[in-house]
Amino acid sequence: MIAMLLWLNPLHAPAAQPRFPVPIDLCALVDASLVKQLVPGAKANHDRYECAWTGQGVGLTAESITEDPEREPWGSTNAQAHELYRKRLANDLAPSLLTIWEWPAIGVPTEKRRSVTTTVARTVAGVGDEAHTVDHRRPRTKELERVYVTFRAGNLLFKVAYTAIDGRVSAKRLRQGALSVSSSMAATLDRMSPPEPAPTSAPGIYAETPIACAMFTPAQLKDLGVEVGGRAGLSAESCTWSWRTFQKRLFLDFHAPQRGPAGDAVAQAKEMFAGWKSPESTSVDIGDEALVIGSGVVFRKSNLIGSLTARTPAQAQQAARWLVEDLS
């Protein structure tokens, strides 16, 4: 059983040396001249995991992200930071209806808290090892008020936020500013410790699971009778979509086993898939092989196994066909 857990979850296998194993001064990662342009006259305010620059109505922050408050960010491995990034991206793919925020240092005290809606995440190329951005907008005017960029560099995960209220900074400049700071930090980190080349997998083999919450289009989710925004589970390989009553309507879970006791990645996936076969299951022509079990479908494509449940067997089969087509 222990051996099986290791090949199912490489995050618990022996880890390589973290790219950044010691604390980093976040304030020193950002070019001072860039900060001066974005927040004129601001001084750096350093916290344990965060650096902030504030002015009247304008603020900039850079922080290290950790999932466990008891664990310092630089204590993570590259693989753990990658999985945490995938989970953050999965959750950021769901737009929020309303977020309430305050920041007294830039002129937003508790008694004058502001509300914003959050847009769906957009991935960004060329910033660290992987990155995405989201916008915060005023609900009525749709005025852009804050831009977040989340990016990973080795074993560290960062979030940069550039905020401006009441139109003090244009939407274009807010986006450019947040991305410029993120790019500056990533470039400084690359000079400190150059990134390692990414490992490659054999053709046709899934090195890891897709991000489940990103697998369906809004139109497809509407046909399946669920809301657009899904919520990731304990990791990015699973996602749940509900209706406004919060009743579960659609659930998707992926597994992408690598080489294991049964042989190579595909052989291992075939053995795992065989475990779902029973007198109550029915074979269906989806992917390399698939089974209908109650109101759910389990399918295999190469070494990737997907299992999903929907309100009806017909919806589950349609969803599975969409997934296989998208993965082709």
Beta strands in the chain (DSSP E): 44-46, 50-55, 58-65, 96-101, 114-118, 122-124, 130-137, 144-153, 156-164, 231-232, 238-242, 248-255, 282-283, 289-293, 296-301, 304-309
Q: Say whether pLDDT at 6 is over 50.
A: no
Question: pLDDT category, 247, cuts 50, 70, 90?
Answer: low
Place of tokens 């052989």: 267
Q: Reduce the DSSP state of residue 128 to 3 states and report it.
A: coil
Instruction: Please count the other Cβ atoms lying within 10 Å of the Cβ belonging to residue 84.
Output: 22
Side-chain half-sphere CA neighbours of 132 within 13 A: 15
Contact 12, 167 (CB under 8 A): no
To the question of pTM greater than 0.75 for the whole model, the response is: yes
Question: pLDDT category, 121, cuts 50, 70, 90?
Answer: very high
The domain ranges of the chain are 10-192, 212-327
Superfamily of domain 212-327: Mog1/PsbP, alpha/beta/alpha sandwich (3.40.1000.10)
Q: Reduce the DSSP state of residue 15 to 3 states and report it.
A: coil
**For the residues 100-113, what does the mean pLDDT come to?**
95
**What pLDDT was estimated at residue 246?**
57
27-74 pLDDT, tens digit per residue, is: 999 999 999 999 998 988 988 899 999 999 999 999 999 887 777 888
Amino acid at 173: R
Scored b (16 or more CB within 10 A) or e, 59-71 reads bbbbbbbbeeeee
Of the candidate CATH numbers 3.90.930, 3.40.630, 3.40.50, 3.40.1000, the domain formed by 10-192 belongs to 3.40.1000
Domains 10-192 and 212-327 are alike in CATH topology: yes
